[in-house]
Amino acid sequence: MFEGIKNKFIKLFKSSTSGTEIIRRDEVENTIRNILLEADVDYDTAQIITERLDRRIIKSGRKIEMDLVKEYLKETITEILNEIPPALDILNAPKKPYVILFLGINGTGKTTTISKIASYLRKNGKRVVLAAADTFRAGAIEQISALGSDIGVNVIKHTAGSDPSSVAFDAIEHAKARDIDYVLVDSAGRMQTNKNLIDEMRKIKRVAKPDLTVMVLDSMIGQDAYNQAEVFMNEIKFDAVILTKLDTDARGGAVLTIVHQLKKPVLFLGTGQGFDDLIKFDPKWYIGKIIP
């Protein structure tokens, strides 16, 4: 996980076994900026990191020890990640049923992520119902139905091509009647520039009135993940992000780009295909993975 950025930082900071190798300040800025860019961190975010790092090390004069650079870099990235308020602990939802709407382009792992969240809630003693509101594809209804069966939660569904909002509405009414804690609403994921999709998402939000809207993004596509999220943010709005496929993300920069550019908390990280392959996002964990 994150081998690209991790190995580059290992090489940089282990170039001296004592950790006291001296490096020029201008070399620090250029080297670290390049590492971040190669890890798929967008230019603006990489620039902010290097500028803030430079402000930390400027008091050291023209040259600085490498071990101190490493500590300052960790402090800088921590600062950026902590500028965003932490995500809501969904286990302590303030109302019942608590409705979560999931957005995301086909292929991001959205429906699989919903099943992971459902499994997580179930294992913590919560009652959950799923809404198969991606009625655009019959395969999507079949997928979430199969996943719901595996987890042991009910799936409210209509026929393919039916109104997605009515599915969400029926799932919420089902939850209210049965004192269910959470309604997790799947949604269509055809291209984000499709006007019909945007209109469909707006209608679901009006009808379902979700308490939390979550954008599911594929970490593997890097900058494109931010571009996708930006369209949804401008057109629909969302409250938090879940990043998927972290187990196959060698570059590792998507997290930094998403947090800094979107100013939205990261709720969970997907680290595999299993129901348990989901971890709460923790800045300390992330920094430990990219700067060993």
pTM (global) more than 0.85? yes
List, by residue range, all CATH 1.20.120 domains of the chain. Answer: 3-81
List, by residue range, all CATH 3.40.50.300 domains of the chain. Answer: 90-283
Compute φ and ψ for 238, nearest 5 degrees: -145, 165
Max intra-chain CA distance, the chain: 68
Q: What angle do CA 67, 70, 74 make, to 5 degrees?
A: 145
Residue written as token pair 């080297």: 31
189 is in an annotated binding site: yes
107 is in an annotated binding site: yes
89 is in an annotated binding site: no
63 is in an annotated binding site: no
Q: Judge contact between 246 and 213, C-beta under 8 A.
A: no
> Strand ranges (DSSP E) for 36-134?
63-65, 98-103, 128-131
pLDDT of residue 17: 47
**In 82-137, where does DSSP find H-type helix?**
110-123
CATH number for the domain running over 90-283: 3.40.50.300
The sign of the CA dihedral 54, 60, 64, 66 is negative
36 is in an annotated binding site: no
The sign of the CA dihedral 115, 118, 123, 128 is negative
Please give the average pLDDT of every successive group of 10 residues along the chain, which has 292 residues.
Answer: 83 62 70 90 92 84 77 94 88 95 88 96 97 90 95 95 95 97 91 72 93 88 70 85 82 83 91 90 90 84
124 is in an annotated binding site: no
7 is in an annotated binding site: no
CATH level 2 (architecture), domain 3-81: Up-down Bundle (1.20)
